[in-house]
Chain A
Amino acid sequence: MDEIKSGLAEVVCDVLVIGGGTAGPMAAYKAKRHSPEARIVLLEKANVKRSGAIAMGMDGLNNAVVPGYATPEQYTKEITIANDGICDQAPVFKYASRCFEIIQELDGFGIKFQKNENGDFDVKKVHHLGSYVLPMPNGDTVKKALYRQLRREKVLISNRYMATRLLTGRDGQIAGAIAVNTRSAEFLVLRAKTVILCAGAAGRLGLPQSGYLWSTYENATNSGDGYAMAYHAGAALANLECYQINPLIKDYNGPACAYVAGPFGAYTTNSEGNRFIECDYWSGQMMQEFYNELQSGKGPVFLKLNHLHSETIGKIEAVLHHVERPTRGRFHENRGTNYRERMIEMHISEIGFCSGHSASGVYVDEFARTTVSGLYAAGDMASVPHNYMLGAFTNGAVAGEHAAEVATNIDLVDYDTADVVREQQRVLAATRREDGIPPNQLEYKTRRFVNDYLQPPKVTAKMKLGQARFAEIREDMENAMIVRDAHELMRSLEAASILDCAEMAASASLFRTESRWGLYHHRVEYPEKNDDDWFCHSILRKRDGRMIAEKRPVAPYIVPIDESERSAYDRQRIRRHA
């Protein structure tokens, strides 16, 4: 295993799904249900059995719109406000209208959702305005349940293949993708009528404070390949300056998790044991207050549980130490942190791109279509804001159905074989050198400069220096990188995606000359929100080989927002404390 072999095979399918984490399996399943005769391929860098953000399951749905608790209109309103108004509502409304049906379908797969004594779904309030959090008592079974459905529907699964570039036809429409086997370096060309990108967040962009490249919030396989592939295929990417930054357990870098413990009575405090934020729901505005408190001399910030009854804490532990990020318990044990006695020290995560938690993603409409004909995106990497796990499932379903329908009406598009040759040369260049710089050093350096120059508060001169450093790293990557086995080859391709994302983060952040989304886009020289000039999406795309930025109007709201409601998320700080 791992030695580099030469090989090139071609596969033909109707719908190709790239990424088998959360959105991907649902997209493939729905595509197959829609067109049982069609060839649906699910391509995964890891193994669909245990891949993605939900590799070990999840403790609950963060954004369930359940009848009796909330309406699609209310949810659309809350997300529009949480995202500072920059929101095309149609995809959010579509999600909100369909997600309950998906909950019921998941329930049918054997994934259970918490019910109260009356047998109704037991939805909890964590958001600023409405109630959307639905616990999953057997959340550890999610992946198994999905995998069973994929096997039953005979979806073709290709594990350990990393997609590296999309293939397009003469008019720019999608033709398929190129992938590399992560254990043998053999190439696979996948011709497809439609392609759905579900490759997750760009989670390896900033460097965690521990300095360990893999201690990211996101599953560390998610190196932003989807963003990079969409960019190189000419697709528009939206609001990348609206970074993902999360409040996490210091050093462990996983969620504590206020959404689980909050409904039991836990809350965020400063070192004096005082609350300083109204609401633990993750938004840029909340993160700004979190950051301010850390800087104020009243830090560090903690999650406080030690006022709760021991039995209650036992219930919380039963969730936090068994699903999602189950090594949490081991981390606390090493440090001697018992929730009954001590508060949990929290910190701010490194930056990333993720629409699942904020709003940085490949631009999509309400059918999950990108701006490239035949190319779809769903889940964390698609631009639907605050999408979370149920968003990945629901929009994956939307994408799968639409892509399957379109595929029944079109033919395969021819690609240019020269593109495949060029991609093979790009991928293999580093394997042909005798010595040079290994990918882990290039990745480390890129990510350290992301921290030094791109992390908010954002400063123009710093971001420009960052761009200069990234250009130097690119020179090294293209001319001096060395790769010695197939595993390292995967890492080198990931390092290239990370560098692409770093350059996109700098360009998008420089483009928007205002501050918005709290900490996510806090620009020191432009401290105010400027609705006159910047009530719009910022769009990045590749044109004639160069990165260009442009504005795109926010689609007219379908759910109106009152002037008085617009600033609800700006009022995060507890008054008496401020």
Chain B
Amino acid sequence: MDFKPCVNINKELDIVGARQLGRTRAKELGFGTVDQARIATAISELARNIYLYAGKGKVCFEVIDQLDKQGLKVVASDEGPGIRDISQVMQDGYSTSGGLGAGLPGVKRLMDHFEIHSEWGKGTEIQAIKWVR
């Protein structure tokens, strides 16, 4: 498969571009409509955080092939301010939208695997995987 791996996030419209590319990849991999919508929403959350808190960064996609399963990996990375207290932001009800289920805990729920690395003053990288069912 010919793969354009990344979308740069500089302005709000880039969030839409990231969603679009993610959805295309998800479709190619054979995700159903519900999972496509979930992946797109997760990408939105990650891309919007980059846009809002880091100013710029990128969202990249990778196909993961394992013996028994295939998945889509979304990697959102930036060199913004980083997150000081990760366990706090991963708590339900912490995000500024407050108790609406979205934000980073929402991304974790939408995807099957979630990993966050962030260093205060250096940047943030979030990896999330969804397996094809």
Partners in one complex: no
Task: Give A residues with C-beta under 8 Å from B.
Answer: none
